[in-house]
Amino acid sequence: MRSIFPRVQRFLLLGWLLLWAGCYTNPVTGRQYAVMTSVGEELQLGVQAFTAVKQAETISRDPSANARIQKIGRRIAAAVGDQLPGAQWEFVVFESDELNAFALPGGKVGVYSGLMKLLSSDDELAAVMGHEIGHVVARHGGKRMTEATLIGLVGTAGAIAMDNKYGSEKRDLFLLAYGGISTVGYVLPHSRGDESEADLMGLQYAAQAGYNPYAAISLWEKMGAASGRSNVPAWLSTHPSNARRIADLRAAVPRFTALYQANRGRY
C-alpha cells in the first residue's frame, strides 16, 4: 500500500510535530524548548528512581548533616514555590565520599556526605542544591529525551534516503558521521547550555532563600581544586569547564545581590 508521504517525509513531519507539540517555557530564564514528556510522567520516573537510589545507597544517620540539609532544602523549596507542580519534597543525605548531589522530578533531592565535608558553608550547599533543583524545574531531563528522539528521527530519515539512493554502505557511513556530528555539534553544546542555565537558576533560588549567591564562586573553586584539571576538551564535555563556569558566575552574581539582601533577614 502506498503512503501519502514518502517515508523520509513522514519521519521529518513527525519530528516537526513533536517539536511544536510540547513547548515549555522556563519560569526563571524564560527560555523556550520542546519537552515531549508530561509533568506526570516525569514525577513518576523521579519517585521510582529516588526509591531505587535509597535502596541501593547508604542513608546517613548523622543528625547534624540531616538537619543541615533539611533546613537548606526547605528554604529553597519555598523559593521554588509553585514552579514545580506536584512536588513532594524529600531531602536525603547519602553516605559516600562522592563530591556530588542530585535532584529528581517531584522534589527528590540527594546530597552525598563527601560534598558536605568539602563545602564549609550553607551558602555553598544552597548553590549546589539550587543548581540541581534548577535542572528539575527546567525539565532538562525531559528536554534531553525529546532531543534524543528528534535526533533519532532525523537520523532515520537520512539513513532511509541514503539507503534508497546509494545503498547500505553509504547509509552506514552516513549514520557514523551523523552520530559524531549530532553529538559534538548539538547534544554536547545543549548539555553545557543546560548546566549554565541551572547555574543561573541556582543563584536565583539561593538568593531568594536568603543565601549569599557569591558562594557559588567559592563552591566551584573548591570543586575545581578537588577534582583537578580535566583532560577532556571543553567541546567534548557535557559540562562547562570550571574556569568558564567561575567566569560566568562572577559576571552573573551581581544581578542577584539585591534579591539576597532583601531575603537574608527573613530567616
What pTM was estimated for this model as a whole? 0.80
Question: Does the pLDDT value for residue 199 go beyond 80?
Answer: yes
Which pLDDT belongs to residue 206?
97
**DSSP 3-state assignment of 131?**
helix
Amino acid letter at 153?
A: L
Where in the sequence numbering do the catalytic residues fall? 132
Handedness of CA 206, 209, 212, 215 (dihedral sign): negative
What are the sequence ranges of the domains in the chain? 7-266
Which pLDDT belongs to residue 5?
42
Which pLDDT belongs to residue 168?
65
Which pLDDT belongs to residue 4?
39
Could you list the beta-strand ranges (E) of 175-247.
Answer: none
Task: Decide if 253 contacts 260 (C-beta within 8 A).
Answer: no
What cell does 244 get? 568558564
Rounded Cα gap, residues 233 and 235, in angstroms: 5
Which pLDDT belongs to residue 265?
79
Rounded Cα gap, residues 173 and 162, in angstroms: 9
**DSSP 3-state assignment of 23?**
strand
Could you tell me the pLDDT band of residue 224, with boundaries at 50, 70 and 90?
Answer: confident
Winning range, highest mean pLDDT, from 2-6, 64-68, 170-174: 64-68
Rounded Cα gap, residues 45 and 39, in angstroms: 10
